[in-house]
């Protein structure tokens, strides 16, 4: 039986103050997924260099991959590294798409400061019941909880759906009230994975349903909203992967200007996973292709990490608006 650890022992914070400031300031907190050291360091360095608060997130399978006993110490290392780099940025560790009370509890007990309970594949009542159960356990420990209403299309780790079901605005008020969640992920046309939308040349990506978002904002004013599946699927990375022996189908993601618009609304958290994967894979492919004799992992993982840093800085500065927002944070939650 592993020792129970509270996130404050790791130097982490929950998402409460982050979301309040993001709501007031008209920007969104970046939530970057990671599985390994180079990704984690790339995210942290990019966020320290842009003075951005950050949510580090892992899916259940990423937690398994990195090892659940090891993972909290990676987050602790990230906090220490950020401080050593002179960036006292607020850092949360979040479970992405938790599918059961047991998983959420296990994460909370091991040092996560925030968890998602994704019961969106269940009927409303069952989703609300499951979410509320996690909220009760989490809030006793000052851990924040994200719920979800509506289903995104696409594939991401353990979540997949062929079609999207937009969130029904008429359900959000009751869900938030019944469950006590701290934030709500909604489905307004974003999509999981690298193959979000296929469009023919000259065609536009289907725009996000800002009408649904506005209707939701009206019903739960000032409540933090989360967008999943919000990678842009940076075309340069896909082109680079294909130019150096990869085989990725052409696909497009969510245009940056739509994400910027969302970040200015009640959307307080924007999830980015695929773009980080593409950035590292593109660089690694290029290096292997140009230097077939290279076998030192630092020689390809290092430049891959550098590219991730560039990507994170770009997102924080020009897409989410989270750059230069890390000051004036109480590093401990004070509620
Ligand atoms: Zn997601």
- Reported as a single tens digit per residue, the pLDDT across 186-237 is 999 999 998 888 877 777 778 899 999 999 999 999 999 999 999 999 999 9
CA–centroid distance, 54 to ligand 1, in Å, is: 16
Catalytic center residues: 96
* Nearest C-alpha neighbor of 264 from the set 188, 209, 319: 319
Q: How far is the CA of 288 from the centre of ligand 1 (A)?
A: 31
Instruction: Indicate if the pLDDT at residue 333 is higher than 70.
Output: no
Name the average pLDDT for the chain: 94
Buried b (16+ CB within 10 A) or exposed e, 286-314: bbeeeeeeeeeeeebbeebbbbbbebbbb
Ligand 1 center–CA 156 separation, angstroms: 7
3-state secondary structure of 326: coil
Note the pLDDT tens digit of each residue in 132-148.
Answer: 999 999 999 999 999 99
| pLDDT value, residue 203 | 79
pLDDT at 284 over 70: yes
Higher per-residue pLDDT: 334 or 94: 94
Could you tell me what percent of the chain has a pLDDT over 70? 97
pLDDT tens for 56-97 read 999 999 999 999 999 999 999 999 999 999 999 999 999 999
* Rounded distance from Cα 58 to ligand 1 centre (Å): 10
pLDDT number for residue 334: 36
Provide the residues around ligand 1 (an ion) whose CB is within 5 A.
228
pTM exceeds 0.85 for this model: yes
Backbone dihedral angles phi then psi of residue 109, each to the nearest 5 degrees: -70, -20
């Amino acid at each position: 039986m592993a020792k129970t650890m509270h996130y404050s022992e790791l130097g982490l914070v929950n998402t409460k103050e982050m979301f309040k400031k993001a709501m007031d300031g008209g920007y969104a907190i970046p939530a970057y997924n990671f599985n390994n050291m180079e990704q984690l360091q790339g995210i942290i360095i990019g966020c320290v260099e842009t003075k951005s608060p950050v949510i580090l997130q892992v899916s259940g399978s990423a937690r398994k991959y990195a090892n659940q006993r090891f993972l909290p110490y990676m987050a602790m290392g990230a906090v220490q590294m950020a401080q050593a780099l002179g960036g006292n940025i607020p850092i949360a560790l979040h479970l992405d798409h938790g599918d059961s009370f047991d998983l959420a509890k296990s994460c909370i007990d091991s040092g996560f400061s925030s968890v998602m309970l994704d019961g969106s594949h269940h009927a409303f009542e069952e989703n609300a019941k499951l979410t509320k159960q996690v909220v009760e356990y989490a809030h006793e420990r000052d851990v924040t909880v994200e719920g979800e209403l509506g289903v995104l299309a696409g594939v991401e780790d353990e979540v997949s759906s062929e079609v999207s079901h937009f969130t029904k605005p008429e359900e959000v008020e009751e869900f938030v009230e019944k469950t006590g969640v701290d934030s709500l992920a909604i489905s307004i046309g974003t999509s999981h994975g690298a193959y979000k939308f296929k469009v023919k040349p000259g065609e536009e990506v289907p725009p996000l349903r800002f009408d649904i978002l506005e209707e939701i904002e009206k019903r739960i004013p000032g409540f933090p909203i989360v967008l999943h599946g919000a990678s842009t699927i940076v075309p340069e990375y896909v082109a680079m992967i294909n130019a150096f022996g990869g085989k990725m189908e052409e696909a497009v993601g969510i245009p940056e200007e739509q994400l910027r618009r969302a970040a200015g609304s009640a959307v307080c958290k924007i999830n980015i996973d695929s773009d980080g994967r593409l950035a590292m894979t593109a660089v690694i492919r290029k290096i292997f292709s140009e230097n077939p004799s290279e076998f030192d992992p630092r020689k390809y993982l290092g430049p891959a990490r550098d590219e991730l840093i560039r990507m994170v800085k770009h997102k924080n500065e020009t897409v989410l608006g989270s750059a230069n927002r890390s000051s004036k944070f109480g590093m401990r939650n004070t509620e």
